[in-house]
Amino acid sequence: MPEIERRITQAEAIREALAQAMEEDERVIVIGEGVPDPKGIFGTTTGLQQRFGKARVFDSPLSENGITGICVGAAISGMRPVMVHQRIDFALLAMDQIVNNAAKWHYMFAGQVKVPLVIRVIIGRGWGPGPQHAQSLQALFAHIPGLKVVMPTSGYDAKGMLLAAIRDDNPVIFIEHRWLQDIADHVPEAPYIVPLDQALICRPGQHVTLAAFSYMTVEARLAAEALAEHGIEVEVVDARSVRPLDMSTIVESVRRTGTLIVADTAWKTGGIAGEVIAGVAETAFSALKRPPLRICLPDIPAPTSPHLTRGYYPDALYLARAIAAHLGRSIPDAELADRLFRTTPHDVPQREFRGPF
């Protein structure tokens, strides 16, 4: 009997993963500003304290660096803490403990001590979070040896990768996108693992490799569907992990398509999109038929007003136009716009995308 397909939102999938991790291992504890409060980190921690008790599910003082260090101290003492920041921007206050201690404790003591720590951080866009509540800082963390950094897109992957991250003996920066949390997906109830180091080809195609990170995978898939109607077959690769980057999946794809475009949620300069392109250029330069292309945010912080964010975030229409232009294909713009122009406001999640992934 095939399992009846169960569809839950990514927020519910994350909550289920946390609950299952706590059930299977009493060393797992969850802490963060707002974890037990009525909003429960966008619904990802709701009810956990009632179920597992105040000894394992904590609210946190507003002390990001201190609490991160305290979680490192608990992790090296045999616990498996999961901490959460409602916005990745607040994790910047903890960079000392993340970079100097969490990432290095195993290395600098020559492997004697493990740091099984998961730091959930949430990124987002739209509805005015502005310069300090919407940054995509994956490259900052991915630069640090000793950290693992992942950015699941689907609810299925969010659950499987969170369970993998909690079972992992290393510090994992687990980056969630606010616009993905309300998207429903097929998520099996029983616990399962999705590896922390493998990209996923989520739509095969022969003309261009479109490597996408996190929410940009959603826009990439919409763009790919529209372009397919015009004979352009886009291979969409959901990178899923940032450190380690699964370069072999991307390189193999580029060997088939000859063209690489990278869509990231972050700024262009010093970003992970450039890292993907560098990796392909180093190992498969001759496979490239044309220059690679980065589709990222402009190199300025996010503004707040909807009048100012218009055009700041590349969407499916932007991607489709850019891909067609890069391939030298002329598609009547009205046809792309007719398919992809958003009828809903640009500063709320794509209603056009409902999953499944």
Partner 1 sequence: MTTFSLFRSMLRIRRIEEAIAERYGAQEMRCPVHLSIGQEAVAVGVCAALQPQDGVFGGHRAHAHYLAKGGDLTAMLAEIYGLENGCCRGVGGSMHIIDLAAGFLGAVPIVGATIPLAVGAAWAAKLRNEDKVIVVFFGDGTFEEGVVHESINFAVLHRLPVLFVCENNLYACYTRLSERQPDRPIHAIAAAHGCRIFTAEGDDVEAVHAASRMAVADLRAGGAPVFLECSTYRWREHCGPNQDDHLGYRPSGELAKWESTCPVSRLASTLSSSPEGARLVAAAEAEIAGEIASAFAAALASPVPQPADLPGYLYA
Residue carrying the six token digits 């709320």? 348
Judged by beta carbon, residue 77 or residue 286, the one nearer partner 1 is: 77
Binding mask 88-107 for partner 1 (x = CB under 8 A): --------xx--xx---xxx
Whether residue 64 lies in the annotated active site: yes
Q: By CB under 8 A, is residue 66 in contact with partner 1?
A: yes
Under 8 Å CB-to-CB from 101, ≥6 apart: which residues? Answer: 69, 72
Please state the closest distance from residue 212 (CB atom) to partner 1, in A.
Answer: 26
Q: By CB under 8 A, is residue 54 in contact with partner 1?
A: no
The CB density around residue 78, as the number of other CB atoms within 10 Å, is 9
Q: By CB under 8 A, is residue 42 in contact with partner 1?
A: no
Which residues on adjacent β-strands are paired with residue 8? 185
- Edge-first strand listing for the sheet containing 208-212: 200-203, 234-238, 208-212, 260-267, 293-297
**Taking contact as CB under 8 A, which single stretch among the options 64-72, 265-273, 309-317, 345-353 is the one that binds partner 1?**
64-72
Q: By CB under 8 A, is residue 110 in contact with partner 1?
A: yes
Q: By CB under 8 A, is residue 241 in contact with partner 1?
A: no
Largest CA distance in the chain: 62
What is the tally of helices (H) and strands (E) in the chain? 15, 14
Alpha helices in 193-341 (DSSP H): 216-228, 247-257, 272-284, 306-309, 316-326, 333-340
Q: By CB under 8 A, is residue 70 in contact with partner 1?
A: yes
Q: By CB under 8 A, is residue 141 in contact with partner 1?
A: no
219 close to 316: Cβ distance less than 8 angstroms: yes
Q: How many residues are present in the chain? A: 357
Please state the closest distance from residue 142 (CB atom) to partner 1, in A.
Answer: 14
**Taking contact as CB under 8 A, which single stretch among the options 5-13, 42-50, 144-152, 230-238 is the one that binds partner 1?**
144-152
Q: By CB under 8 A, is residue 343 in contact with partner 1?
A: no
Active site residues: 64, 133
Residues that bind partner 1 (CB under 8 A): 29, 55-56, 61, 63, 65-79, 96-97, 100-101, 105-116, 145-146, 148, 169-170
